[in-house]
Amino acid sequence: MNAVEIEEAVSDLARQPFDPQEFAFSFLEAFGNKPTTIKRLREGNTNKSTIVGGVLQRNNIHIVVSENGKVEEALTLLRETPETRKSKAQFILATDGQDFQAENIISGETLVCKYQDFHEYFSFFLELAGISTVKQIRESAFDIKATGRLNKLYIELLQHNPEWATAERRPDMNHFLARLIFCFFAEDTGIFQGEGLFTLTVQQMSMSDASDTHEIISEMFRAMDTKLKDREKNNIKAWANKFPYVNGELFSGSTDVPKFTKIARSYLIHVGNLDWKKINPDIFGSMIQAVADDEERGMLGMHYTSVPNILKVLNPLFLDDLREHLEQAGDNARKLLNLRRRMARIRVFDPACGSGNFLVIAYKQIREIEYEINKRRGEKNLSSEIPLTNFRGIELRDFSSEIARLALIIAEYQCDVLYRGNQLALAEFLPLDAENWITKGNALRINWLSVCPPTGTGVKLHGDDLFSSPLDQAEIDFDNEGGETFICGNPPYAGSSKQNTNQKSDLKDLFDPHNIRFKNLDYISGWFWLASKFYEQTDGAYAFVTTNSICQGEQVNILWPHILSNNQEIGFAHTAFKWSNLAQNNAGVTCVIVGVRISSSADKFLYFEDSRKNVRHINPYLIDYRDVFIPRYSNSISNLPKMLKGNQPTDGGNLILSSEEKRELEEISPDSREFIRPLFGAKELIDGSKRYCLWIEDDKLQKARMIPQIKNRIKLVKQARLKSSAKSTQNKAGLSHRFIQIQGYGRLSLVMPEVSSEKREYLTGELLGANCISTNKLFTVYDPEIYLFSVCSSKLHKTWIETVCGKLEERISYSNVLGYNTFPLPKLTEKNKKDLTECAEEILIARERHFPATIADLYDPKKMPKDLKQAHERNDEVLERIYIGRRFRNDTERLEKLFELYTQMTNHLKKV
């Protein structure tokens, strides 16, 4: 269950009459416990409570229903009962149906309320449902509630107004919902005269069968679009006249409203009765996005950026600098004024703004700084000089773009209340500014200068002007104002093979004219490209949260030379962190944050999880070293023997046999032995698991097909290949008795796993004997000299691979062309080779000594055996002496030497 579902279940429970017998079980059920779990508790099997009528669920909660008026005592009893502690209950809860008290034993927080109100505090208990309540989700209890209610309303309305669900009319539906949210907010904050005016009017004026609800609402909308002086002329009904003139495009256009059902009407009243003052524009938009987005429904804002992550972008991008200036200004009125003027001209532009998180947070942070300035200048009541129109965005999805605008409006109002008081906030709020700087459209198809022109005087684009040509240089007055523009955001990621045709063509149109090999780039690189272009024209800097893959492997050499050649540099970067937000199913991706600016001598910072380092330079691999771009090499620059990829089956699993399947097949048909070989991928290598494959030479095909089981498997391979979306695979359907790609086999081979854990101290290569087949999960050197094993097992090699190759999240991803072929190794003497061979043998012997321990066992960083560790140390020592005559002090030193050597060696190559 997600938070919205839990909220609904808890609210349902609270509405029902109190049942002392059932309460504890119903409560647990509302928090997502399965019926079987409840049943076992009810039967007492898992109920650890020793209190009469108590229910104690291990690791979770101890609940008791007390006698009337004895709640306080009951809670004390719960707290003091030894079982509570023994069963590690996190919560205790007591109620008599009147009063309700609970305590989070771990944090010490307590909850005391009336029974009928406890559903308001459902977020207090969210950990019961396995939802880790970071402080934020507690604070967004309202947003969760509102999202759930609005979702119900939205679905009900769409169901009964199917024409509103069509692609054509969805925007109207979304606009309608945005208007509703505005009204709910306005009626609870005094923007409308009279508490709950909107909801109350619906309730009182429309018939309870809902037949005219849409007309009533429509009339109110019409009023809000009509200036007071024009109302009589336009026959605004008297009861609607109580609504102020709002407009600001929010109420202009069609006042059409979908027809309501009785249920929809009651949903609307229900939502309206929530206390919308509590809306949190930071997060609300992201949650509410799920309401209208079919794809995101159920995911609940899987891809919205959490506030801490937004600040990781905004702080180093420009907020830290503003705060520093504030610090320096002290109480100097002049300096403070200058800072305020500067801030009033700062534009924040998010070209993938979703529901506006980055913009809202940026706005609120700037307002906070402005307030401090005004306080120091003794101008507390001064109205803000930060124009909302300086916060601009582009968003593809219609609903999100509506919400982004609304979120900004709400944020502005809330800031005014916070810093200037209710009265002043109200006095200046309406009518809304008619300008809307959230553009709906495809950011990769819009000229960013037209959304965010350097002068602030440019024209706004509407959705239908998307494919505009670049603005004429003459239209842009560069000397004007000199305000800065900061671009930020979390644009969409899509790996090269995961992009749809539209996304592909977006990139094609951007990159093809510049001969950039866009087909291997992640979709997000379009944003980096356009942002870099943007700053050819204007001052400022940009930073995005991005998948780490654009700072790794081959993408570095495709994308970054073009960005950094623009007299631009990476000003700050945040190294890899796992994506996470409050959604229950977090997207599986590892992110980095990269900030790019016009080259300058200002400080550069590399941020790590909980520290930052002032560095000389940040290169696109996000390390402190000068820019190096490593391309693919088809041969080793150090003249090492050719390393090939293993054999790729693409067989739908039909050429591969488990131990079990192998045994069965051999039992049924002993002749099949001839065609079965051990198969090695990374897993088999590392975990020591066993797999086998059918390996049938072309000239043995006839014989193999005599065995019915094999014949059948070959048929299944063919079927699987024909089903593939790749032409090349379909074409090989005829050769279904063998792997789709055959690189080599049957000799002694050195193999390196393609993907392996980053936790091990060394890469775990291995020597495989004859007859073994390696899959495409292993890279292979056939008939290697043994010293090569020493090289590939060294710390130097691991450091290089981990730096220049791609990654799967944080996993190390080996590559022959990017890593092995580019690995710089000094020319080895015969003596060197002999020494290294001895080291290699020592490692192999050490592994052997611990038979049958697997590689995974042996290289577990906590359990690595001493002798194996020593063998590796020795190996590193011998190899590193060849490089610099001593051991390297650390990985930084290793990398510097490797990069230096790489540069030398490849320069030499070019000369040849």
Partner DNA sequence: AATCCGACAATTC
Partner DNA sequence: GAATTGTCGGATT
- Residues 576-635 contacting DNA, CB under 7 A: 579, 587-589, 591, 632
364 by Cβ neighbours in 10 Å (0-12 / 13-18 / 19+) ranks as middle
Contact segment (CB under 7 A) with DNA among 260-268, 526-534, 542-550, 827-835 equals 542-550
Three-state SS for 303-328 is: CCCCHHHHHHHHHHHHHHHHHHHHHH
Bridge pairing between strands 540-547 and 485-489 = parallel
Give the binding-site size for DNA (rule: CB under 7 A).
76
- Concatenated DSSP letters of 556-580: HHHHHHHHHTTTEEEEEEEEEEE--
Quick check: 644 binds DNA (CB under 7 A)? yes
How far from chain centre, in Å, is Cα 485? 25
> Any bridge partners for residue 707, and if so which?
none
**Residue 27 CB, nearest distance to DNA (Å)?**
18
Quick check: 505 binds DNA (CB under 7 A)? no
> Among residues 315, 383, 648, 906, which is the contact residue for DNA, using CB under 7 A?
648
**Residue 45 CB, nearest distance to DNA (Å)?**
17
**800-839 mask for DNA (x: CB under 7 A)?**
-----xxxxxxx-x-xxxx---------------------
**Residue 109 CB, nearest distance to DNA (Å)?**
20
How far from chain centre, in Å, is Cα 754? 25
Angle between helices 170-189 and 281-292 (to 10 degrees): 150
**Residue 629 CB, nearest distance to DNA (Å)?**
13
Nearer to DNA, 743 or 837 (CB): 743
**Residue 183 CB, nearest distance to DNA (Å)?**
31
Distance CA 871, CA 859 (A): 13
Quick check: 875 binds DNA (CB under 7 A)? no
Helix (H) / strand (E) element for 7: namely helix 3-15
> Among residues 151, 436, 549, 619, which is the contact residue for DNA, using CB under 7 A?
549
Nearer to DNA, 79 or 562 (CB): 562
**Residue 132 CB, nearest distance to DNA (Å)?**
7
Nearer to DNA, 233 or 863 (CB): 863
Nearer to DNA, 170 or 519 (CB): 519
Q: 784-814 burial string, b = 16+ CB within 10 Å, else e?
A: bbbbbbbbbbbbbbbbbbbbbbbbebebbbb
| Cα–Cα nearest to 90, from 61, 50, 48 | 61
> Among residues 315, 669, 743, 837, which is the contact residue for DNA, using CB under 7 A?
743
What token pair was written down for 526?
């379009």
Site for DNA, residues 838 to 867, rule: CB under 7 A: 856, 860
Length of the chain: 912
Residue type, position 825, single letter: L
Quick check: 726 binds DNA (CB under 7 A)? yes
Could you tell me if 673 and 732 are in contact, meaning their C-beta atoms sit under 8 angstroms apart?
no
> Among residues 28, 319, 583, 656, which is the contact residue for DNA, using CB under 7 A?
656
Quick check: 398 binds DNA (CB under 7 A)? no
Nearer to DNA, 415 or 778 (CB): 778
Nearer to DNA, 276 or 782 (CB): 782
Angle at 867 between CA 684 and CA 641, to 5 degrees: 55
**Residue 634 CB, nearest distance to DNA (Å)?**
7
Contact segment (CB under 7 A) with DNA among 187-195, 266-274, 645-653, 893-901 equals 645-653
Nearer to DNA, 632 or 703 (CB): 632
Nearer to DNA, 504 or 869 (CB): 504
Residue type, position 15, single letter: R
Quick check: 520 binds DNA (CB under 7 A)? yes
> Among residues 759, 834, 849, 908, which is the contact residue for DNA, using CB under 7 A?
759
**Residue 757 CB, nearest distance to DNA (Å)?**
4
Contact segment (CB under 7 A) with DNA among 21-29, 234-242, 389-397, 650-658 equals 650-658
> Among residues 88, 107, 109, 130, which is the contact residue for DNA, using CB under 7 A?
130
What token pair was written down for 15?
């509405």
Site for DNA, residues 560 to 579, rule: CB under 7 A: 579
> Among residues 777, 795, 872, 894, which is the contact residue for DNA, using CB under 7 A?
777
Contact segment (CB under 7 A) with DNA among 80-88, 233-241, 267-275, 749-757 equals 749-757
Nearer to DNA, 720 or 825 (CB): 720
Task: Region of 719 please: left (phi>0), alpha (psi -120 to 50) or beta.
Answer: alpha
Quick check: 797 binds DNA (CB under 7 A)? no
> Among residues 87, 756, 793, 832, which is the contact residue for DNA, using CB under 7 A?
756
Name the phi and psi angles at 118, rounded to 5: -60, -25
- Tokens 């002049």 -> residue: 334
Could you tell me if 585 and 302 are in contact, meaning their C-beta atoms sit under 8 angstroms apart?
yes
Site for DNA, residues 8 to 67, rule: CB under 7 A: none
Helix boundaries (H) for 706-755: 708-723, 727-731
At a CB cut-off of 8 Å and minimum separation 6, what does 549 contact?
Answer: 493, 495, 522, 555, 806, 807
> Among residues 396, 418, 755, 905, which is the contact residue for DNA, using CB under 7 A?
755
Site for DNA, residues 465 to 504, rule: CB under 7 A: 490-498, 504
Could you tell me if 760 and 787 are in contact, meaning their C-beta atoms sit under 8 angstroms apart?
no
Site for DNA, residues 263 to 322, rule: CB under 7 A: 303
Nearer to DNA, 817 or 858 (CB): 817
| Cα–Cα nearest to 670, from 701, 710, 630 | 710
Distance CA 872, CA 840 (A): 9
